[in-house]
Amino acid sequence: MTQETRLEVGFPVDVHVLLHRGPRILLLRRAATSPYAPGLLCLPSGKVEPGEDVVTAAVREVAEETGVVLHPHTLRCDLVLQHRPPRGPLRIGWFFTAAGWPGARDFDAIDTVRNAEPHKHEELVWADPDDLPADLVAYTRAGLDAIHAGTPYALHLQHPEDAIHDEGPTTRRLLPIGGSDRGRGDGRGPTDPVSPPLRGRLGRDPPARGVSSPRGRSGEL
């Protein structure tokens, strides 16, 4: 491809941070006037700014939204998720967990966390990750589900008719890539890094016995 015909393709990049306090995680309720997902719950999150790396962006967003100042070394990347919203471009979400942040163990130390952007968020909610609220952004729910399943990479490809808020499986549409196991453990090499649902989408699963593959549909990319 020549310089004249080369197309520059880019995706918006988001960062999402899990702040644990005891058994709960911090969620923010977006303002009713928000242009995106008004009134819904999400993690502390935001877009990576031009020239910014994802770790720096995560530290900045948490400080701007909650007042909590994190050290970059406390962040652990749990998930990279490609997300396709019902409307708008594909985007990449990096999900981090903050370990050892101020107030992480003391649930009564509420002064360490505050709603630092009341014009953007209505309230802070401490939620049980095993019993999540129903009024979550679907993007947020998909990321939390992938982290809970232990998959480090996943796709969340919504359809144009899907809702922005979580409505169960119809809006989650989560396709894990790989899993929590990094190898077989029997010396035979790594497992297939592509999950069964995604293998089916890519045509990599073998046809059922007695069914031949249609000509021209080998699934090769």
Whether 122 maps to a domain, the answer reads yes
Q: Give tens-digit pLDDT for 130-157.
A: 999 999 999 999 999 999 999 999 999 9
Residue 195's domain comprises 13-183+191-202
Let me know if residue 209 belongs to a domain. Answer: no
Query: Would the pLDDT of 5 be above 50?
Result: no
For the full predicted model, state whether its pTM sits above 0.75. yes
Q: Which residues contact 178 (CB under 8 A, 6 or more apart)?
A: 151, 152, 153, 193, 194, 195
Q: Note whether residue 120 is domain-resident.
A: yes
Per-residue pLDDT at 180 = 52
The reply to whether 174 falls in a domain is: yes
Is residue 47 within 8 Å of residue 137, measured between CB atoms?
Answer: no
The CATH number that applies at residue 110 is 3.90.79.10
Of 41-50, 125-134, 168-177, 189-198, minimum mean pLDDT range: 189-198
Residue 41 · residue 125 · CB < 8 Å: yes
What's the chain's average pLDDT? 80
Report pLDDT digits (tens) over 77-118. Answer: 999 999 999 999 999 999 999 988 876 766 555 557 999 999
User: What per-residue confidence (pLDDT) applies to 111?
Assistant: 57
DSSP for 6-36, please give it: -------EEEEEEEEETTEEEEEEEPTT-SS
* 104 is a domain residue: yes
The structural domain count of the chain equals: 1
Q: pLDDT confidence of 13, banded at 50, 70, 90?
A: very high
Q: Does 215 reside within a domain?
A: no
Question: How many whole angstroms separate alpha carbon 180 and alpha carbon 199?
Answer: 17
